[in-house]
């Protein structure tokens, strides 16, 4: 029977989800689901110094928002739990004792000062910095006596080789490490807690993980992991190291360059599907080069062999493009609901005053649906609907070479034309018909009317068209704004 595909996402609880880690979990998810396998969430929290309050809850919340559901994990349990490493300490102790017994690991009592001195000497001699194996040679009895006497110690793996080691990555093929790349690395720290090296190998084995998909920053750990599998006599899983996401300048993606927390993208108003689509395509391409893919389509087409091994560059324009696409796919009710928290945050008082709240908001949002790149932009794009007559420079009302007087006259004319449309007929279509036919009948220049009209309503260089805005504003507000513009221009009655 073929082995079931079981992958794991194994974050350290840092309090937020890095966008690069989102890529890793997506690749894991796609591999598992495309092979009808399982994805497991495991929390790697044995580094006490990095512990953050509520980190696991926050992580679960954001992963749920993104739409990644796990088959096993701390929140749902499973056959191979517990899924939080700090709750598995007795397992690591048991396993390290096995290695101590077989002699594949040993206690090292070297103090920090001794190690620093050793490193200094190595540096002076131009040698690579590595543990010199001093405690390797302690007898079992010596080691136990020191321990009983209360001396502090770490446990190191006895690296058995003096020759190079070749390890195989599914994407990259064979990777060769020389003996100087390896040292008797630490498996348990002086506080008794396991290192990543020990805990991840033990857990991957006990949780029956078939494929380890992780970031390429773990490649230096790769030979250590393999040697540990060999020491235990366990079959190793397949390893796949996913390239990093880089800044445009090819440096590591950092906070200085872009938001790195998925939570920030959520707050800004990115749609989960867009983030997933974006992260998956930064490192993998479906055979047919399709760019917009729903999760089900990705699962259908995903083959880990098609993943790229060159680093991907974080391209915010691409993300905005995809997000804009997903925003346009929303029906207007759903989109308005999604925009509502942003609008409420900025215009709560104004929103309360509108009688037909939802229908007005729907109209406002629908005018921007085409342009919106992310949801929080809605407040900036539509603020002129909520604030009283917008503040703008009266010069903006002037189209090309028109004189101030002409603009003022045209605005007065527009006022007259608009005033005779009754409230019931106040629609974009009727307003447009009325104004455009007047311009045509009198052989006038379209821009000389529509530009000042639009600016009078929005106060902006760029905005949706004047007729659409007028309809949404309503007759009374539209007339007030046109009148206000003529006052702003400060030209007296003609």
Query: Where on the chain is the footprint of ligand GLU (CB under 6 A)?
Result: 10-12, 44, 200, 214, 218
Total residue count of the chain as it appears in this document:
494
CA distance 14 to 18: 9
Is the separation of the CB atoms in 51 and 20 below 8 Å? no
The nearer residue to ligand GLU, 218 or 438, going by C-beta atoms, is 218
The nearer residue to ligand GLU, 237 or 269, going by C-beta atoms, is 237
Q: Is the dihedral of CA 116, 121, 124, 126 positive or negative?
A: negative
The nearer residue to ligand GLU, 51 or 413, going by C-beta atoms, is 51
CA distance 489 to 414: 15
CA distance 224 to 198: 9
Residue of closest CB approach to ligand GLU: 214
**Phi/psi at 155 (nearest 5 deg)?**
-110, 130
Q: Is the dihedral of CA 280, 283, 284, 288 positive or negative?
A: positive
Pairing of strands 165-169, 154-157: unpaired
Helix (H, G, I), strand (E, B) or coil at 218: helix
Packed helices 357-368 and 332-353: angle between N→C axes, nearest 10 degrees:
120
- Spell out the alpha helix ranges (H) of 149-233: 196-206, 222-232
- Spell out the alpha helix ranges (H) of 316-376: 316-329, 332-353, 357-368
The nearer residue to ligand GLU, 283 or 324, going by C-beta atoms, is 283
Task: Please report, for residues 350, 351, 358, 361, 471, the alpha-carbon distance to residue 355 in angstroms, rounded to integers and kept in the order given.
Answer: 10, 9, 9, 11, 16
Active-site position among 3, 255, 308, 429:
255
CA distance 337 to 348: 15
Structure tokens at 147: 């321990």
Packed helices 272-281 and 316-329: angle between N→C axes, nearest 10 degrees:
140
CA distance 43 to 141: 37
Let me know if 401 is a catalytic residue.
Answer: no
Helix (H, G, I), strand (E, B) or coil at 164: coil
**Phi/psi at 240 (nearest 5 deg)?**
-135, 120
Residue 429 makes CB contacts below 8 A (sequence gap 6+) with: 467
Pairing of strands 186-188, 312-313: unpaired
Q: Residue 417's Cα: distance from chain center in Å? A: 51
Q: Which position has the token pair 């900025």?
A: 346
- Minimum CB–partner distance for residue 221 and ligand GLU (Å): 8
The nearer residue to ligand GLU, 38 or 214, going by C-beta atoms, is 214
CB-CB neighbours of 289 under 10 Å:
6
Q: Which residues are catalytic?
A: 255
């Amino acid at each position: 029977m073929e082995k079931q595909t079981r992958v794991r996402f194994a974050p350290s609880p840092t309090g937020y989800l890095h966008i690069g880690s989102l890529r890793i979990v997506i690749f894991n998810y796609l591999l598992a689901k495309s092979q009808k396998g399982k994805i497991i969430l495991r929390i790697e929290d044995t580094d006490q110094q990095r512990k953050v309050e509520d980190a696991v809850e926050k992580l679960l919340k954001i992963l749920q928002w993104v739409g990644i559901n796990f088959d096993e994990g701390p929140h749902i349990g499973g056959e191979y739990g517990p899924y939080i490493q700090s709750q598995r300490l007795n397992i690591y102790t048991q396993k390290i004792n096995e290695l101590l017994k077989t002699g594949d690991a040993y206690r090292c009592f070297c103090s920090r000062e001794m190690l620093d001195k050793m490193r200094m000497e190595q540096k002076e001699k131009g040698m690579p910095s590595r543990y010199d194996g001093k405690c390797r040679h302690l007898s079992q009895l010596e080691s136990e006596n020191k321990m009983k006497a209360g001396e502090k110690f770490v446990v190191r793996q006895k690296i058995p080789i003096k020759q190079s080691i070749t390890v195989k990555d599914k994407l990259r093929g064979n990777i060769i490490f020389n003996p100087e790349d390896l040292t008797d690395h630490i498996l348990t720290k002086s506080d008794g807690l396991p290192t990543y090296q020990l805990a991840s190998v033990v857990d991957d084995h006990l949780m029956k993980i078939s494929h380890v998909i992780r970031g390429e920053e773990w490649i230096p750990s790769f030979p250590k992991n393999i040697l540990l599998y060999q020491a235990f006599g366990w079959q190793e899983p397949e390893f796949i190291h996913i390239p990093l996401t880089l800044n445009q300048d090819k440096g590591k993606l950092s906070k200085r360059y872009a938001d790195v927390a998925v939570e920030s993208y959520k707050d800004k108003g990115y749609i989960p599907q867009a983030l997933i689509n974006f992260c998956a395509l930064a490192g993998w391409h479906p055979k047919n080069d399709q760019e917009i893919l729903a999760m089900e389509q990705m699962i259908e087409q995903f083959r880990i062999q098609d993943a790229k091994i060159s680093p991907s560059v974080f391209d915010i324009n691409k993300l905005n493009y995809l997000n804009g696409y997903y925003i346009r796919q929303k029906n207007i009710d759903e989109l308005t609901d999604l925009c509502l928290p942003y609008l409420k945050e900025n215009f709560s008082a104004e929103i309360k005053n509108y009688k037909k709240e939802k229908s007005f908001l729907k109209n406002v949002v629908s005018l921007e649906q085409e342009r919106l790149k992310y949801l929080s932009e809605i407040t900036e794009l539509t603020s002129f609907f909520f604030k009283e007559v917008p503040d703008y420079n009266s010069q903006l009302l002037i189209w090309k070479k028109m004189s101030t007087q002409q603009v003022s006259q045209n605005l007065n004319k527009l006022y007259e034309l608009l005033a005779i449309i009754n409230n019931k007929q106040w629609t974009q279509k009727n307003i447009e018909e009325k104004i455009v036919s007047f311009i045509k009948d009198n052989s006038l220049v379209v821009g000389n009317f529509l530009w000042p009209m639009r600016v009078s309503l929005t106060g902006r260089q760029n905005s949706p068209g004047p007729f659409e805005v007028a309809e949404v504003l309503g007759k009374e507000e539209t007339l007030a704004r046109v009148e206000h513009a003529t006052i702003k221009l400060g030209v007296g009655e003609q």
